[in-house]
Amino acid sequence: MAWEEAAVAATESRVGSVLAAALLLPGVAIPAHAESAPEQGSVEVQALDYRDWQPGLQRIRVQAPSAHVLAPIGSRWSVEGSLVSDSVSGASPRHHTAVSGASRMSERRNAADAAVRHYGEREDWSLGAAYSNEHDYRSRTVSGTYSWSTEDNNRTWNIGLGHSGDTIGSSDDPSLHAHRLTWQATAGVTQVASAADLVQWSLGLNVGRGTFSDPYKFPDIRPDHRNQATSLLRWNHDLGALDAVVRLGWRFYGDSFGVRANTLDAAWVQSFGDRLQLTPSLRYTTQRAARFYVDPVYSASLGEPFPPGYDGQHPVSEDQRLSAFGALSAGLRVDVKLDARWRLDASVERYEQRGSWRLGGDGSPGLAPFSARWFQLGVACSF
Amino acid sequence: MQRIICITYTAASLALAGCAWAPPQPWEKGALAKPAMTMGGDTLSQRFDQHVYSSKENASGGYGVGGGGCGCN
């Protein structure tokens, strides 16, 4: 009887950790270790390599070493932090897919974040801070999260609040010293739906005020505020007989620029024994253009890049990212567990973006296809 | 926002119906404890992937609060 109680308690603890892990999302997300502090610390180091291109043009290359540390402190606390240093070089279009000779650049972005978390009996809270610095952009963020679980550990609720202050400059205009303030809020629930199913639903709301125009695009005049709302639904299903897990996700996004986007992602996590795991994945996103995005049709009197009716006052943008398009990406990740402490991982992803791939096929015309690929190689150690 | 809630609620209901809503007992949760059932996955990889997507698309966020801004978007 004592053994059975111990087994049940151990399983409960592990599932509590699963719910906690299920809520560990990127960007100092909604971590909800509603059961207990992690029993082990970990250190992970990764090397990242990213390239993107359009026909006849190699655009951006990014190389980014990064590191992440998680350390338990006693049974009630943990701290974690990460560092990343992006080395960026290449060219980014000034308008639509056109690159000017002056737009070549080479720069570095350094970013760091840290969070401290406290674990109660069925709840936890965290406080975090993030800092990112480039020669023409600086961002500071503080955030807090709180989560709590039901008595049977089958449901965990979470809320989060963050505030960012960004300073925007420009190599082209040294006098530019613009600002942007953003409040971020999120609320969600993770539910154990069955012995093989975890479902998570999160709502997010960002309210931003300040400068949203891109100083490196021309012409580019955007509203001085942007409100963003997201709804994220994720579902993990265990296929015990196949030793595999299916992960599905759907995110709806809408903002006050008029953009609406739906993103679907799916991954198949296939285990081969205890040491090897392969994860192929697919992602598709479809996006409606911002209401002030203009197609590449230029003013007869002013010429390229000015759109017809351009007055320098009303919102207008020729940024491809605000256009209507669809994008498809496919990835493959390999995880190798060397022993009880060491783990290796490697992944590759290929990304393709086309106007004609928008759901329904009525994407923005006249834009060159956009392609990207990135590799990641990592090593992690538990202690 | 109301539209988002409505759409997602419907989808969540269908998803939960599809996986035969039956919250398990503690001794039935072994499969849920697999690392592969983690939704967030590897922290650094997930952050980098989201960073790439948000720098090439207008849509971003939804995965929590506290991420710092970037001049890339």
- In 3D space, the residue among A312, A310, A350, A360 whose CA is nearest the CA of residue A330 turns out to be A350
Least confident of A105-109, A147-151, A206-210, B7-11: B7-11
CA atoms of B31 and A350, how far apart (whole Å): 31
Min Cα–Cα distance to chain B from A263, Å: 9
Percent of chain A with pLDDT over 70: 90
Contact indicator for A32, A19 with CB cutoff of 8 Å: yes
pLDDT band at A37 (very low <50, low <70, confident <90, very high): confident
Other beta carbons less than 10 A from residue A251's beta carbon: 23
Q: Give pLDDT, residue B15.
A: 58
| Tokens standing for residue B31 | 């499969």
Region A119-147: mean pLDDT is: 95
Which tens digit of pLDDT belongs to each residue from A274-294? 999 999 999 999 999 999 999
Q: Which residue of B3, B14, B32 is the best one to mutate when testing the A interface, meaning the one whose CB has the most A CBs within 10 A?
A: B32
Q: Give pLDDT, residue A25.
A: 34
- For chain A, what are the domain ranges? 2-382
**Is A365 at the interface with chain B, CB within 8 A?**
no
Longest dimension (CA), chain A: 87
Chain B environment of A277 (Cβ under 8 Å):
36
Q: Give pLDDT, residue A141.
A: 97
CA-nearest residue to A205 within chain B is B62
**ipTM value:** 0.89
Q: Give pLDDT, residue B11.
A: 63
Residue at A298: amino acid letter: Y
Q: Give pLDDT, residue A13.
A: 44
Q: Average per-residue pLDDT in chain B?
A: 78
pLDDT band at A54 (very low <50, low <70, confident <90, very high): very high
Min Cα–Cα distance to chain B from A98, Å: 16
Q: Give pLDDT, residue A232.
A: 97
Q: Cβ separation of A206 and B68 shorter than 8 Å? A: no
CA atoms of A191 and A124, how far apart (whole Å): 17
Region A215-224: mean pLDDT is: 94
The secondary element (H helix, E strand) that includes residue A279 is: strand A276-287
Least CB–CB distance from A195: residue in B1, B28, B45: B28
Q: Supply the pTM of this predicted model.
A: 0.89
Phi then psi for residue B22, to 5 deg, are -160, 80
Q: Give pLDDT, residue B38.
A: 87
Chain B environment of A25 (Cβ under 8 Å):
39-40, 46, 63-64
Q: Give pLDDT, residue A29.
A: 46
Which tens digit of pLDDT belongs to each residue from A106-124? 889 999 999 999 999 899 9
Contact indicator for A81, A127 with CB cutoff of 8 Å: no
Min Cα–Cα distance to chain B from A300, Å: 29
Buried/exposed B35-58: b ≥16 CB within 10 Å, e otherwise: ebbbbbbbbbbbbbbbbbbbbbbb
CA atoms of A284 and A327, how far apart (whole Å): 6
Q: Give pLDDT, residue B73.
A: 63
Min Cα–Cα distance to chain A from B54, Å: 9
Region A29-40: mean pLDDT is: 59
State yes or no: pLDDT of B13 exceeds 90.
no
Q: Give pLDDT, residue B68.
A: 67
Under CATH, which architecture does the A2-382 domain have? Answer: Beta Barrel (2.40)
State yes or no: pLDDT of A231 exceeds 80.
yes
Region A153-168: mean pLDDT is: 95
The residues pairing with A327 across neighbouring beta strands, listed in sequence order, are A285, A353
